Amino acid sequence: MRLARPLIIFMGLVLVWQMIVTISAAPPYILPGPLAVAKAWVHAPGLFLHHAAITGAEIILGLGLGFVLGAGSALIMAYFRPAERWLLPVLVISQAIPVFALAPILVLWLGYGMASKVAMATLIIFFPVTAAFHDGLKRTEPGWVDLAITMNASRWAILRHLRIPAALPVLGSGLRVATAVAPIGAIVGEWVGSSGGLGYLMLHANARVQVDVMFAALFTLCVMALVLYFIVDKGVRHVVSWQPESLNFN
Amino acid sequence: MNQTTHSTAPGSSPIGVHLSNAHVRWGAEVLFDGLNITLATGQWTCLLGPSGVGKSMLLRLILGLSAAKPGISGVVECSDGAALPGRVSYMAQRDLLMPWLSVIQNVCIGSRFRGEQQNFEAAHAHLKAVGLSDSVDAMPATLSGGMRQRAALARTLMEDHPVVLMDEPFSALDAITRVRLQDMAAEALKGRTVLLVTHDPLEALRLGHSIHVMSGRPARVDEPLVLSSDVPRHVDDGEILALQGELLHRLAEAVE
């Protein structure tokens, strides 16, 4: 059932899609049916896979970089109190700038290649990861900290053996959110200016009124985002398997 | 469940502890004003009193967890003249087991915190003493409340300190499990200087060599009720049944 459920949901959604197309009688240049989109995909799978690889690499690089930078900032803030006092307000203020508005500037600075998209994805991921991990590191159960202090633990040992592991579930939630939003960063970056990737392919197809190609690109992106999310989710569950919720005690 | 608990004598010689002239001000409220208490060498001292009187605060003061905060002062002295920190272990009402570590890793957590070599052999012995030989590699979430608290006791024994401070360690357990754990702790901690904060007069009478009632604001610690017989005392021991009335009477006065 665990494998069947996503398949049933997928089939259901495709069915709803086909029904909307049939009932509304929308012309194919507005809303192509699932069959037309599937045909477009099968017609040139190499095209979609090529651009998916570019976007996928941008997303994964951005996710990795955003995660490392975000987790690192949270750790620095947790360990050095002055860093927290100075860095936290800057972080909060930085969130007032819509990341989308930075896309043209990043393309200007970093060029049409992958770097500007990776930077976009990194920026979008950085904050949820930092905020979640920082929160988790600050909310260590006080009883545990007391116990560690009576055991003569140094601040560093408390961070390493207590606060970091205790914050992992919250960091995991942050990473899940980050994984869900990472494709946005990459795609917006591609829309602003690029020479490859699924966002580029969609814009390109749009200009030529190849709506079926646009939808096929979108579909490819969705599948990629879902697969990435499930991999990250599985990884997070594995790392924090000690959490009572995931032990299935019902 | 029939376990034999072996007392594990402390690695270093027993010491007595004296807290004197404790002052605690919490905003406008004065919790302690010149409070004194002595923990006799190698004996169980029990501390009873109404909720909110500051029993846990007193324990934190001795543990050194509240030092260096404004409005909090007090002098902790040991009978051998050396400092207490590093020679005292702490057991709380909640087991404080880290859910991401197995039982034996939890028992060894002290050495992990201090960056020392973990002595799994000793940990095994302590787990055996508290009847957890079969749960060495279990995760805390899979254990019952009583088993978790026994793991916490093994962790306390692993620290091997001459002084042990306990803050209502058995209060969350059912009656039978509580009595068993009291017996286990009394055996295992023989020869150590123990301070037990508790709500339960019967528990104090079973385990205490001297029993204090703490009351008032600022809080005072009264003259202790002294029992000379060995601990743990039997639940139907005539002496403790006779004293239970007096102790309840003192507690009732403390609440008024």
pLDDT tens-digit map of A180-221: 999 999 999 999 888 899 999 999 999 998 999 999 999 999
B68: CATH: 3.40.50.300
Q: Omega into B218 within 30° of 0, i.e. cis?
A: yes
Q: Does residue B118 share a domain with residue B228?
A: no
B139 touching chain A per CB within 8 A: yes
| pLDDT tops 60 at residue B223 | yes
| pLDDT tops 90 at residue B38 | yes
Contact B65 A146 (CB under 8 A): yes
Q: Does residue B48 share a domain with residue B172?
A: yes
Give the max Cα distance, chain A.
74
Residue A145 or B239, more confident = A145
Residue B2, in any domain of the structure: no
Query: ipTM of this complex > 0.85?
Result: yes
- Structure confidence at residue A245 as a pLDDT band (50, 70, 90): low
The position carrying tokens 């002295």 is: B77
What pLDDT score was predicted for residue B239? 85
The answer to whether B107 and B124 have CB atoms below 8 angstroms apart is: no
Give percent helix, percent strand, percent coil of chain B, each to the nearest 5: 35, 25, 40
Q: Does residue B170 share a domain with residue B146?
A: no
Q: Does residue B102 share a domain with residue B225?
A: no
B172 touching chain A per CB within 8 A: no
| pLDDT tops 60 at residue A222 | yes
Q: How many CA atoms lie within 13 A of B25 on its CB side?
A: 4
What pLDDT score was predicted for residue B210? 94
What pLDDT score was predicted for residue B256? 73
Q: Does residue B44 share a domain with residue B102?
A: no
Q: Does residue B81 share a domain with residue B30?
A: yes
Strands B225-226 and B210-215 turn out to be antiparallel
CA atoms of B150 and B146, how far apart (whole Å): 6
The domain boundary residue, chosen from B145, B160, B175: B160
Residue B11, in any domain of the structure: no
How large is the average pLDDT for residues A47-74? 95
Specify which of A246-250, B165-169, B236-240 reaches the highest per-range mean pLDDT: B165-169
List the structure tokens of A175.
Answer: 């990473």
The answer to whether B37 and B19 have CB atoms below 8 angstroms apart is: yes
What pLDDT score was predicted for residue B11? 61
Q: Does residue B144 share a domain with residue B175?
A: no
Q: How many CA atoms lie within 13 A of B63 on its CB side?
A: 28
Domain containing B23 equals: 17-87+162-255
What pLDDT score was predicted for residue B10? 58
Q: Does residue B216 share a domain with residue B104?
A: no
Q: Does residue B177 share a domain with residue B51?
A: yes
pLDDT tens-digit map of B105-126: 999 999 999 999 999 999 999 9
Residue B7, in any domain of the structure: no
**A148, A168, A244 ranked by CB distance to B113: nearest:** A148
| pLDDT tops 70 at residue B204 | yes
Mean of the per-residue pLDDT values of chain A: 91
A182 touching chain B per CB within 8 A: no
pLDDT tens-digit map of A107-137: 999 988 899 999 999 999 999 999 999 999 9
Residue B6, in any domain of the structure: no
pLDDT tens-digit map of B49-95: 888 888 888 999 999 887 667 888 888 999 998 888 889 999 998 99
How large is the average pLDDT for residues B13-38? 88
Q: Does residue B111 share a domain with residue B237?
A: no
Contact A242 B114 (CB under 8 A): no
Q: Does residue B208 share a domain with residue B239?
A: yes
pTM, entire model: 0.86
The count of residues in chain B is: 256
B67 touching chain A per CB within 8 A: no
Q: Give the residue ranges of DSSP H helices in chain B.
A: 55-63, 103-107, 109-114, 120-129, 145-159, 175-188, 201-207, 238-255
The domain boundary residue, chosen from B112, B140, B160: B160
B9 touching chain A per CB within 8 A: no
Q: Omega into B14 within 30° of 0, i.e. cis?
A: no
pLDDT tens-digit map of B121-159: 999 999 998 899 999 999 999 999 999 999 999 999 999
pLDDT tens-digit map of A161-180: 999 999 999 999 999 999 99
A chain contacts of residue B159, beta-carbon cutoff 8 Å:
151
End-to-end Cα distance, chain B: 41
Q: State the smallest CA–CA distance between residue B78 and chain A in angstroms.
A: 16
- Structure confidence at residue B8 as a pLDDT band (50, 70, 90): low
Q: Does residue B131 share a domain with residue B59?
A: no
Bridge partners (DSSP) listed for residue B77: B18
Q: State the smallest CA–CA distance between residue A143 and chain B in angstroms.
A: 7
| pLDDT tops 50 at residue A249 | no
Strands B163-167 and B193-197 turn out to be parallel
| pLDDT tops 80 at residue B3 | no
Q: Is B231 left (phi over 0), alpha (psi -120 to 50) or beta?
A: beta
Mean of the per-residue pLDDT values of chain B: 88
Count CB neighbours of A211 within 10 A. Answer: 19
